[in-house]
Structure 1
């Protein structure tokens, strides 16, 4: 998975010399679209890895001489690691949502 994030908004120097970001409606839309697209891309990569591993498994079972057992096992491990990482992210997001919902106002 390759997640690259771009800067959200330009920085503006303040009187104290500190850099302050100026939030705008366009940057918040870009930020939500960026996270959404990054999440969808990551899920698509995990799904593709699982599909690739399944296809390689079928090819090994059909005794295709062009597909090696080692290549298949590596693809299965990559798919498994990607799925576990996805589950950890999902669990963290659900926990964060629960924590926010349980906050007293």
Structure 2
């Protein structure tokens, strides 16, 4: 659930997207604009939201451990579960994107 893992997943997705678009420059981002924003921006926003949920859950757990008033155990547990579910969703989306990319790359032209 660390931000390093999320950044690594985003870097991997950007690399795969660059290869799919035919870009050979490593680290370049592909702009796949659909509607108002790009696909990369949507992924980055989702990863950022997952990281925010994780950070919030960590802060709340630490505040509960310090015994700060107004922090209830059920709130800590719910925030932890929200962060966990969001992270698992992010992993599943990444896995589906990688699988779809591999399927497209294995298609005969």
* RMSD over aligned Cα atoms: 1.9
Partner of 1:48: 52
More helix by share: 2
Deviations 1:37-83 (A, max 9, x none): 22111111110000000111111111112211111111001101100
Q: TM-score, normalised by structure 2?
A: 0.64
2:21 pairs with 1:36: no
1:94 positional shift: 0.5
May I ask how many residue pairs the two structures share in their alignment? 78
Normalising by structure 1, report the TM-score.
Answer: 0.67
Contact 2:32 2:39 in 1 (8 A): no
Which stretches in structure 1 are left out of the alignment for 5+ residues? Answer: 1-27
Instruction: Provide the rounded CA distance (Å) in 2 between the counterparts of 1:74 and 1:57.
Output: 11
Superposed counterparts of 1:1-105, under 5 Å? 30-31=33-34, 33-105=37-109
